[in-house]
Chain A
Amino acid sequence: MFFLSEIEHTLRLPPHLLNQPLNDAIKGELGSLFLDKVIEKLGLCVSVYDIRSIKGGFVFPGDGASTYTVSFRLVMFRPFVGEVISARLKESTKDGLRLSLGFFDDIYVPVPLLASPNHSEPDPGLKDGVRWVWEYDGVNYPIDGTDEIRFRVHNVIYPPIPLDQRNDSDEKELEQKVSKPFAPMVVTGSIDSDGLGPISWWV
């Protein structure tokens, strides 16, 4: 789930940090720059692991800040395909399930990857919500939010940043775009196998 990635970056250290020891100032600056952000193909940055080397320290003309070339390692959250992770149910709609890990919420299980055969029934508790039920051997097993759900990672995509194309005449589209903020990293999971799905099914 977590990987260590080595990155080299040219960092500009603002002048108001010049009184702090160099390592701490650079670590803080790297944290504010990379923490909780998604880097394409590397994943979501969870934490700065350590700093390997700091080179440079030049001050460019017209600028009050010094610029360093820092080589460091970050702890990245990057699930690999085939990994089994346990998460909690966040919402359940007609398109499938959405799971959450606390620090990462964009895990989707689309309908084709749910345990089959299944059917959906409208859930009165959730707004627009739908509850998915797995049928096996004549017994119905519903997927509700009480316990953890295990899923296998099907793939991880990094959709490109959308350009701002707002069409004022189409108000419905506007509402849709506002309700679903852009997700830079989307994990697709599958529950279609033995041992996957809510833990209570298998214990």
Chain B
Amino acid sequence: MERESTEILDVFFLNDLILYQKAFRARYHVRIDHPPMYCILFLPRKGGPPYDATYGCPKLESSAGALTNFEVLDLLRSRGAGKDPTCVIASVSPSEFKVFDYLEQTAACNQTKEIIHKFVDECKKYDLAKAEILNVVNLRPSSAVEVYTIIEECDSRMEEKIDEFVETIAQILPPPPTHEQPGEENVESKEETAN
């Protein structure tokens, strides 16, 4: 940090020795400084380093890529989120744990990379948008109704291929974890008949 030779840092708590040291460093452009022994607040002149909490504003690149739920789950698992139930040793913070708990309940907990690659390959013949494939992988719809919500203008684009698409989903993507409700059990039996 270059400083003009005539500038001296303003000092709140006046102490002759410190004042002399500051003047000396300013005059001779000493760059690296040791923190002073006395508790002093410094107010540098303009051109000095800003002393606010956020040092400069962060520069942004809005989206370097969308992630599926599975990828985030994999990342948290690789940090040890699933292994320790009391989350004491793992290097995962409590808020990351909440995300992990949420993702474990969705269909992402049974997926693997190969399954997702295979599914994306199969989807190429249906001409779907990237966002729609992402939605399908995250939600794993098990019936035609659910596919209607995800894919826009399903009737005109897919026509009769909807049932075939639902079949493909049921075969490639594993079902979400079973809950204690009879609704989910119906899904399980449908999955078996489809297989």
Contact = CB atoms under 8 A, between A and B. Distances in A.
Interface of A: 1-12, 15, 31, 35-36, 39, 41-42, 46-47, 49, 58-64, 67, 73, 75, 77, 80, 82-84, 86, 101-103, 146-147, 150, 152, 193-196, 199-200, 202-203
Given A35-B93, A46-B99, A75-B72, A202 B146 contact: yes
A101 B102 contact: yes
Contact of B25 (A61, A67, A202): A61
Contacts of A200: 181, 183
Contact of A86 (B36, B66, B139, B183): B139
A1 B1 contact: no
Nearest to B59: A8
A9 to B, nearest CB: 4
A34 to B, nearest CB: 9
Contacts of A63: 33, 35, 49
A152 B150 CA distance: 9
A7 B62 CA distance: 8
Contacts of A193: 149
Given A7-B58, A10-B55, A61-B31, A1 B69 contact: yes
B183 A203 contact: yes
Considering the complex of A and B, which 6 residue pairs feature the smallest CB-CB distances, nearest first? Answer: A195-B149, A103-B98, A64-B35, A60-B49, A10-B55, A10-B56
Contacts of B9: 61-62
A102 B60 contact: no
B59 A7 contact: yes
18 contacts: A5-B64, A6-B60, A9-B56, A31-B93, A36-B95, A60-B33, A61-B9, A61-B25, A63-B33, A63-B49, A82-B131, A83-B134, A101-B102, A102-B101, A103-B95, A103-B98, A103-B99, A147-B183
Interface of B: 1, 3, 9, 25, 30-36, 42, 44, 48-49, 55-56, 58-69, 71-72, 75-76, 93, 95-96, 98-99, 101-102, 106, 131, 134-135, 138-139, 141-143, 145-150, 152, 179, 181, 183-184, 186-187
Contacts of B147: 195
A84 B135 contact: yes
A2 B184 CA distance: 26
Given A47-B75, A101-B102, A6 B64 contact: yes
Given A36-B93, A147-B183, 4 more contacts: A83-B134, A146-B181, A195-B150, A203-B143
B122 to A, nearest CB: 20
A73 B61 CA distance: 10
A104 to B, nearest CB: 9
A152 B138 CA distance: 13
Contact of B149 (A5, A36, A58, A152): A152
A11 B59 CA distance: 12
A147 B176 CA distance: 14
A46 B141 CA distance: 26
